[in-house]
A = this chain, B = another copy of it.
Amino acid sequence: VRSVTLHDVAQRCRVSIATVSAVVNRAAWVPDATRERVQRVVDHMGYRPNQLARTLKTRRGYAIGVVVSDLTNPFFTEIVRTLSNQLRADGRAVFLCDSDHDYAHGARNAAMLLDDAQIGGLVIIGDTVPEDVLAQRLRRRTGIPVVAIERDYQLDGVNCLLADSEGGAYEATRHLIALGRRRVALVGGPVQGPGSATFGRAQRHAGYLRALAEAGLPHDARLIAEGNFRSAGGYAAMQRLLHAGPHPDAVFAANDLMAIGALVALREAGLRAPDDVALIGCDDIPIAAQTSPPLSTIAMPMRELGEAAAAALQERLQGRRLPAPRCRRFATRLVARASTGS
């Protein structure tokens, strides 16, 4: 059961395969008469160009590869969804790869996509593809558009889309302080290993410190706990915070997943939010609005990021060389819910 090839169509039309190819690729020189005649047969026979052969020949893939750090984090899936819907609307295939918090997996995913599948463009979401690996792969396949979300690669040819996490963390912490809280803790991202190179990780730490300093609050190391951007990490970090001395009266968690874990730890310790401990997260993933109490958070511009990534990619694929500034920054926004009080 072979599929229809250029050859079949050509034979049926009594033209050469070159002509059919020209019609399919909308070459300008084909006269309208033959164009129509051929096109009709193409439609009738249900001819579809073999993308493998096409890519083999042109070295320009038609599909877009997406590498994502953690598919179980709604922050990422939300971005992935808007991104791929947009790309699909642009008529592109999207191949997604999950790295499951692992640099090795991220590296393999990038290599598979770039070397094996020979994709036409790449989107990297999160920090799971090491910079040197990316640089090396890009050296082989030069000129291929790459867009990174929430990671600041110092590579030219790659566009970086970043959220203003520093500002968000600053606002979050200020919000807690304005509520009258004085022992404001941070459940941060991992200081090393997977997740640590996410752009927002250091930014959120910095924003937290800036707000504290501005309010003249002392810097207390016992108020800072390290998580891993996952729920279990937030849970463990909160427990450590509670056992480290007099418990904090407010917590800024560097993402919502950790905030949810922290919420569980608080509940188990018999503490209530916001009465005993005011809690604010970061990302504004859908479940944040459905926890009990609903979680205050810093909304990350997930849809904007996804759409901007698709747009940047499409723009560069259309041929234009320079894609605006190398890095673009997107605003965040405070969302106050019950977990920080009414």
Residues of A within 8 A of B (CB): 1, 3, 48, 50-53, 55-56, 62-63, 71-72, 74, 77-78, 80-81, 84-85, 88, 93-98, 100, 105, 108, 112, 115-118, 139-142, 231, 260-261, 263-264, 267, 286-287, 290-292
A287 CA / B55 CA spacing, docked (Å): 43
Cβ distance A63 to chain B, nearest Cβ, rounded Å: 7
Collect the chain B residues with CB atoms within 8 Å of residue A140's CB: 1, 3
Task: Tell whether, in the assembled complex, residue B85 and residue A78 are in contact, meaning their CB atoms are under 8 Å apart.
Answer: no
Cβ distance A233 to chain B, nearest Cβ, rounded Å: 13
Task: Tell whether, in the assembled complex, residue A98 and residue B96 are in contact, meaning their CB atoms are under 8 Å apart.
Answer: yes
Task: Tell whether, in the assembled complex, residue A72 and residue B78 are in contact, meaning their CB atoms are under 8 Å apart.
Answer: yes
Task: Tell whether, in the assembled complex, residue A117 and residue B260 are in contact, meaning their CB atoms are under 8 Å apart.
Answer: no
Collect the chain B residues with CB atoms within 8 Å of residue A53's CB: 56
A306 CA / B263 CA spacing, docked (Å): 30
Excluding A48-B115, A71-B81, A84-B98, 6 further A-B contacts by CB distance (< 8 Å) are: A52-B118, A62-B116, A63-B112, A80-B98, A117-B117, A231-B290
Task: Tell whether, in the assembled complex, residue A52 and residue B56 are in contact, meaning their CB atoms are under 8 Å apart.
Answer: yes
Task: Tell whether, in the assembled complex, residue A100 and residue B115 are in contact, meaning their CB atoms are under 8 Å apart.
Answer: no
- 24 inter-chain pairs at a CB distance below 8 angstroms, sorted by A residue, are A1-B141, A1-B142, A50-B56, A51-B116, A52-B52, A52-B56, A63-B116, A72-B77, A72-B286, A77-B77, A80-B98, A81-B100, A84-B98, A88-B108, A93-B117, A94-B97, A95-B95, A95-B97, A260-B287, A260-B290, A261-B290, A263-B290, A264-B290, A267-B292
Known: A77-B71, A290-B264. A139 touches B1 (CB 8 A): yes
How many copies of the shown chain assemble into the complex? 2
Collect the chain B residues with CB atoms within 8 Å of residue A85's CB: 100
A100 CA / B287 CA spacing, docked (Å): 18
A72 CA / B77 CA spacing, docked (Å): 6
A81 CA / B105 CA spacing, docked (Å): 12
A81 CA / B72 CA spacing, docked (Å): 8
Taking each of A55, A71, A141, A267, which has the highest tally of chain B beta carbons within 10 Å of its own beta carbon?
Answer: A71
A150 CA / B267 CA spacing, docked (Å): 36
Cβ distance A58 to chain B, nearest Cβ, rounded Å: 11
Collect the chain B residues with CB atoms within 8 Å of residue A80's CB: 71, 98
Nearest B residue to A53 by beta-carbon distance?
B56
Cβ distance A283 to chain B, nearest Cβ, rounded Å: 14
A290 CA / B56 CA spacing, docked (Å): 49
A287 CA / B63 CA spacing, docked (Å): 34
Cβ distance A198 to chain B, nearest Cβ, rounded Å: 19
Name the contact of A93 in the complex, choosing from B51, B112, B292 (C-beta under 8 A). Answer: B112
Collect the chain B residues with CB atoms within 8 Å of residue A96's CB: 95-98
A125 CA / B207 CA spacing, docked (Å): 41
Collect the chain B residues with CB atoms within 8 Å of residue A98's CB: 80-81, 84, 96
Nearest B residue to A293 by beta-carbon distance?
B292
Task: Tell whether, in the assembled complex, residue B71 and residue A88 are in contact, meaning their CB atoms are under 8 Å apart.
Answer: no
Taking each of A1, A50, A84, A263, which has the highest tally of chain B beta carbons within 10 Å of its own beta carbon?
Answer: A84
